[in-house]
Structure 1
Amino acid sequence: MNYPSNISRRQFELVRPILEGARQSTRPRKYDLYDLFCAVAYVLKTGCQWRQLPVDFPRWQSVYYYYRVWSEEQVLDEP
């Protein structure tokens, strides 16, 4: 999947530690954190509804869950 909202894996490695620090659960992650981040970026960039995420992203419920976690921890806020 290649969307204009995606960032490179190299860029993602710079924000990965911050995103992993906001994790609330100890269960193993079902989806790649990069895919989840790109899906959140897609929704924020396009303004689409969560349920209308393209099928090549993880399930919308999982993406929305991570969006809520990152929002509550203020990970997605600008510095």
Structure 2
Amino acid sequence: MWTTENRARYDRSELRYPSDLTDDEWALIEPLIPPAKRGGGKRSVDMRAVVNGLMYVLSTGCQWRAIPKDLAARSTVHDYFDLWDYDGTLERIHHTLYVACRERMDREASPTVAIIDSQSVKGAEKGGARSTRPATMRARRSGARSATSWSTRRAC
């Protein structure tokens, strides 16, 4: 519900882009970002700018090439996205934020009840993915087409 208190909490007018992380949001995510690999040079990219670039793409739906120049380079943002997807960082961030939201609402960290509707059960009983097979099958040839090929006489 939009109360005066909630409007102030969700006001993003002070940020450069509405998708940018606030200081409180960054404080939740920063510890989950893996440190730079050992043995190489010092990490020169600002990780908050990388996360802000990812959030910009997610919130606007823009192409990677359309990331604004004042955020991290698009190749850097995309490379970190691929890396974090591969090593599970995105999953850890999602899980941590999910648990924090549930606890803030005075709920248990993981749900104890699941609801399955009758259509889901019916689909599973019929074989689930198998029911989509006819839509992906190759079209059959018409019987009329093969009949016309027999109408001409063949030389023996």
Could you say which residue in structure 1 is the equivalent of 2:17? 3
**Letter in structure 1 aligned against 2:42:** P
Taking only the aligned residue pairs, the percentage that are identical comes to 28
> How many corresponding residue pairs?
78
The RMSD of aligned alpha carbons is 1.9
Q: Deviations over 1:16-55 (max 9, x none)?
A: 121125x556432221111110001100111111111011
User: Which residue of 17, 31, 35 maps to 2:49?
Assistant: 35
Q: Distance in 2 between matches of 1:12 and 1:35?
A: 11
More contact order relative to length (CA 8 Å, sep ≥ 6): 1
SS state at 2:34 partner: helix
**Cα offset for 1:57?**
0.8
Paired residues for 1:53-64 under 5 Å: 53-64=67-78
Asked if 1:14 is matched to 2:14, the reply is: no
Whether the 8 Å contact between 1:9 and 1:34 is mirrored in structure 2 is no
**TM score, norm. by length of structure 2:** 0.45
CA pair 72-54 structure 1, distance change in 2 beyond 3 A: same
Equivalent residue letter for 2:27: E
- Structure 1 partner of 2:83: 69
Separation of aligned partners in 2, 1:10 and 1:39: 18
Residue of 65, 72, 81 corresponding to 1:51: 65
TM-score, scaled to structure 1: 0.81
